Structure formats: structure tokens, C-alpha cells
């Protein structure tokens, strides 16, 4: 019979148990408070890999001081219940002190892909992401790692880092899971009050409007950005940070006509809550 799921909080213990895992090993990095979006990644890993490791770590270094680290939602007991049902082999749940002991001073940065979109709004965010993902890769040594398209720039930045640093790991990007009304699932949706929750549907409505126009033949990048903005402006609770129609290769804005794959993305504050969403047209991530 297969062994039960093991919840591990120390590095030596993780290394020991990792060395006995059947390969390929799939890693799904998360910050916990799991929802169907996370579970879709885990199910894909379960289908494709002999062993599955899920990490749960609310990574302090990807939050700026003014962001929501302290109130980020957590429910480890419920997460573990869900992960057991998904037949996960190992849950890696380190403390911040294990990940960043006193004296810690080493960082991984992807220089260019992080300058646009979320990186412009949150200048230290991706340095925190790439550093923690490198540490997770080193600790768990997976053959495959699963990320959500919901955080498209993150997936592209991690893929770049994986290539640049020669991690022998395949990065697999899985589709965004949505609520019935289109809202992309996110742990942060729990912050929304009922009026904000309703207002938050404007993100996917704006994206789907632009995607529809693209499918009808519209190729002008500015027209697509304007379309998204016009939908967002109908929602008084939405405070737009950016709308973008960017080249998938470098995440710089398309000017004039789109001539390849485009990432349509947006970031919006609904009340105090920072929400992002995207769709890809003319290709995939």
C-alpha cells in the first residue's frame, strides 16, 4: 500500500524523504489557502508524475512592506485535508526562519521580464518569487514544476530563470480556473465584501470583451487596450492599475498591429484588494 502523505517542516528530513521518492517528481509551489485553481495544478502533477510534492509557504520576500503579508489568508488544517484527498506524497511547509535564517543575503533576479506589468507596480515582488522558487527547486529537486496561467508573468519569469540557471526542470503552465461568473480563483478573493465580489467580475468581462474582438479579427493593440479600459470604467469600485496587450516574448507592449502571441492582462484594485487576470491570444504561454 502507498504510504500516507507526509507533512515536512525540516530540510534534513525533506532531503531524506525526497531521496526515496519515485521519479519523476512533480512540484506545485503554493502559498496555501488552497482552492480549485491550486487543485487543478496538483491533479495535473498527479496524472503526470510518480510523486507529487506541494509546498505551502507564504513567502515574505515577495510582499512589499505595504502589502498584505500579515493578513494573507491561511488555513493549514483545511489545506492538508484537501491535499490528502489529492493523494499528494509530500507537503513541504517550512517556517520563514528555515527559508530565511538570520544573515540571509542571497537573491535570484531575472532582469528584464520583471520590469513591466506587475514588476513595475511591485518592484521587489519577482526577486522574492525567483529566490523562493530557486530554493524550493533546490530543496525538492523536481523533474517538473507546475504553475498557473493566472499569474502569467510569474510563470514566464520562472521559466526564464529555470533556463538561465540550468535547472533540469520542465515548467508546466496550467489554465486559469474561474468561478461560474468568470472571476479568476484566487486566495485573495476572500478579502472581497459582497459588493466588491460582484464588482470583481469586471476583470474577466474586460478580458473576454477584448478576446472576443481579437477573435472577430481586431488586431490593433491600442484598440484592445481601450476596449478593456472601457469595460473597467463601467465599474465604480474598480481602480485600474494597468491594462496591457504585450508581446509574449518580452512582455513589452505591442504597438500598432499584433503580429504574434499577445498577453492581454490587467491589474485592478477592487476596494483594498489587488486583483490580476489575463488571457492569451494568438498562441499560448
Judged by CB under 6 A, does residue 186 bind ligand AMP? Answer: yes
Cβ proximity to ligand AMP, 155 vs 238, nearer residue: 155
CA distance 63 to 78: 24
CA distance 113 to 22: 35
- Burial of residue 220 (CB within 10 Å: 0-12, 13-18, 19+) is middle
Judged by CB under 6 A, does residue 185 bind ligand AMP? Answer: yes
Which residue is catalytic, options 38, 78, 125, 274? 38
CA distance 187 to 58: 12
Find, among 59, 32, 52, the residue nearest to 135 by Cα: 59
- Spatial contact of 99 and 62, defined as CB atoms under 8 Å apart: no
Judged by CB under 6 A, does residue 153 bind ligand AMP? Answer: no
Q: Which residues make Cβ contacts (< 8 Å) with residue 223, sequence separation at least 6?
A: 213
Q: Classify 50 as helix, strand or coil.
A: coil
Judged by CB under 6 A, does residue 125 bind ligand AMP? Answer: no
Cβ proximity to ligand AMP, 125 vs 247, nearer residue: 125
- Give the three cell numbers for residue 125: 515582488
Judged by CB under 6 A, does residue 159 bind ligand AMP? Answer: no
**35 noted as active-site residue:** no
> Measured from the CB of residue 275, what is the shortest distance to ligand AMP in angstroms?
11
Q: Which stretch binds ligand AMP (CB under 6 A): 7-15, 32-40, 90-98, 233-241?
A: 32-40
Size of the site for ligand AMP (CB under 6 A): 17
- Spatial contact of 198 and 234, defined as CB atoms under 8 Å apart: no
> Measured from the CB of residue 226, what is the shortest distance to ligand AMP in angstroms?
26
Cβ proximity to ligand AMP, 37 vs 258, nearer residue: 37
Contact positions toward ligand AMP, by CB under 6 A? 30-31, 37-38, 40-41, 147-148, 150-151, 174, 176-177, 184-187
Q: Which residues are part of the catalytic machinery?
A: 38
Amino acid at each position: 500500500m502507498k504510504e500516507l502523505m507526509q507533512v515536512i517542516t525540516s530540510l534534513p528530513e525533506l532531503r531524506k524523504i525526497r531521496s526515496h521518492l519515485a521519479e519523476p517528481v512533480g512540484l506545485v509551489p503554493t502559498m496555501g489557502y488552497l482552492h480549485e485553481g491550486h487543485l487543478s495544478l496538483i491533479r495535473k502533477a498527479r496524472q503526470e508524475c510518480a510523486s507529487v510534492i506541494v509546498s505551502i509557504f507564504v513567502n515574505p520576500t515577495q510582499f512589499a512592506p505595504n502589502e498584505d503579508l500579515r493578513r494573507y489568508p491561511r488555513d493549514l488544517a483545511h489545506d492538508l485535508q484537501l491535499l490528502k484527498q489529492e493523494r499528494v506524497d509530500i507537503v513541504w511547509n517550512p517556517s520563514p526562519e528555515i527559508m530565511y535564517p538570520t544573515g540571509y543575503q542571497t537573491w535570484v533576479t531575472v532582469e528584464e521580464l520583471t520590469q513591466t506589468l506587475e514588476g513595475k507596480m511591485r518592484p521587489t515582488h519577482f526577486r522574492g518569487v525567483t529566490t523562493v522558487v530557486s530554493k524550493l527547486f533546490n530543496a525538492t529537486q523536481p523533474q517538473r514544476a507546475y504553475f498557473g496561467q493566472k499569474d502569467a508573468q510569474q510563470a514566464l519569469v520562472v521559466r526564464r530563470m529555470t533556463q538561465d540557471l540550468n535547472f533540469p526542470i520542465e515548467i508546466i503552465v496550467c489554465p486559469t480556473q474561474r468561478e461560474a461568473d468568470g472571476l479568476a480563483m484566487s486566495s485573495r478573493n476572500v478579502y472581497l465584501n459582497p459588493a466588491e465580489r460582484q464588482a470583481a467580475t469586471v476583470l474577466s468581462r474586460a478580458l473576454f470583451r477584448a478576446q472576443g474582438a481579437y477573435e472577430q479579427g481586431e488586431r490593433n493593440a491600442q484598440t484592445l487596450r481601450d476596449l478593456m479600459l472601457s469595460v473597467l470604467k463601467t465599474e465604480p469600485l474598480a481602480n485600474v492599475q494597468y491594462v496591457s496587450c504585450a508581446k509574449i516574448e518580452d512582455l513589452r507592449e505591442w504597438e500598432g498591429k499584433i503580429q504574434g502571441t499577445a498577453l492581454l492582462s490587467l491589474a485592478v484594485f477592487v476596494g483594498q484588494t489587488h486583483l490580476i487576470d489575463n488571457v492569451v491570444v494568438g498562441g499560448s504561454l
